[in-house]
C-alpha cells in the first residue's frame, strides 16, 4: 500500500483520499447519537495516533476529549451523556495533523476498539466502521 503523508488540516496531498479526520466526522453522522463509551474513546485515540504519528494521547486533543467523555458518561444519566457527535464534530479541524486512511490505520483502530469491548465486537456504524470504509474507498481509488 502506498504510504500516506501526514499533513496539516487543509493541505492533504491527495484531495480525493478520505482522511482520518473525515472518517471520524462520518462517524458523527452515522452513530452520532451514541453515548461515548470506553471502546469508542480507545478507537478515537488510536485514530488520533495514526493521524498525527505521535504515539501518545495529546493533552486537549480529540482522544483526550473522548476519554473524558467516556469517563463522565459512566456517572451521567442517559439523557445527559456525551455523544459521539459532540466529540467528533469537526474532527478534521481538531487534529493537528491528518492523513489519508490506510488499511493499516483501520486495523489499528479496530484492534483498539475491540480490545476495549466486553463482547470483543466493533460497534456497527461506529468509528471502526467509518475507518474501514474510508480505507476501502482509498484503496479502490488507487487501483
pLDDT (tens digit per residue) in 81-110 = 999 999 999 999 999 999 999 999 999 999
Indicate left, alpha or beta for 23 from its phi (over 0: left) and psi (-120 to 50: alpha): alpha
Assess if residue 110 is contained within a domain: yes
**Cα–Cα distance for residue pair 60/44, rounded to 1 Å:** 13
Q: How far apart are CA 51 and CA 18, in angstroms?
A: 12
Q: How many domains does the chain have?
A: 1
pLDDT score recorded for residue 15: 67
Is 7 inside a domain boundary? no
In a domain, 122, yes or no: yes
Reported as a single tens digit per residue, the pLDDT across 44-61 is 999 999 999 999 999 999
Domain hosting residue 67, numbered range: 20-141
Higher pLDDT, residue 132 or 141 = 132
Amino acid at each position: 500500500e502506498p504510504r500516506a503523508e501526514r499533513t496539516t488540516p487543509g493541505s492533504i496531498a491527495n484531495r480525493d483520499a478520505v482522511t482520518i479526520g473525515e472518517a471520524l466526522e462520518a462517524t458523527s453522522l452515522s452513530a452520532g447519537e451514541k453515548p461515548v463509551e470506553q471502546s469508542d474513546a480507545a478507537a478515537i485515540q488510536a485514530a488520533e495516533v495514526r493521524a498525527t504519528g505521535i504515539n501518545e494521547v495529546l493533552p486537549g486533543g480529540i482522544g483526550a476529549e473522548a476519554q473524558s467523555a467516556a469517563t463522565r458518561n459512566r456517572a451521567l444519566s442517559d439523557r445527559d451523556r456525551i455523544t459521539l457527535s459532540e466529540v467528533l464534530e469537526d474532527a478534521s479541524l481538531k487534529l493537528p495533523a491528518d492523513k489519508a486512511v490506510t488499511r493499516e490505520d483501520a486495523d489499528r483502530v479496530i484492534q483498539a476498539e475491540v480490545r476495549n469491548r466486553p463482547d470483543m465486537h466493533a460497534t456497527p456504524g461506529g468509528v471502526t466502521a467509518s475507518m474501514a470504509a474510508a480505507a476501502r474507498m482509498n484503496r479502490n481509488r488507487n487501483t
